[in-house]
Amino acid sequence: MRLLERQRIRRSVERGYHLTAVARQLVAIIADGARSLKLRQITTPPLVIQGRADRWPRA
């Protein structure tokens, strides 16, 4: 694995992996139940907003 790829992976993990948050989100997903029928009703396109200060790793 190349050094730059390792650095990118490390930054991603450091930025977004919190075990308690992962567990909390998983419990919420399971408790909410199936939503595929509701998702099919969404007709608006997604909108992603990213600021210059966001620390997103480069691909």
Residue 39 reports pLDDT greater than 80: yes
Host domain of residue 14: 3-40
User: In this structure, is residue 48 part of a structural domain?
Assistant: no
Which pLDDT does position 43 carry in this prediction? 94
User: What 3 state SS string does the chain have?
Assistant: CCHHHHHHHHHHHHHHCCHHHHHHHHHHHHHHCCCHHHHHCCCCCCCCCCCCCCCCCCC
Q: pLDDT, tens digit, for every residue of 17-35?
A: 788 888 999 999 899 888 8
Q: Please count the structural domains in the chain.
A: 1
Which pLDDT does position 15 carry in this prediction? 78
User: In this structure, is residue 45 part of a structural domain?
Assistant: no
Which pLDDT does position 48 carry in this prediction? 80
Share of the chain above pLDDT 70, in %: 90
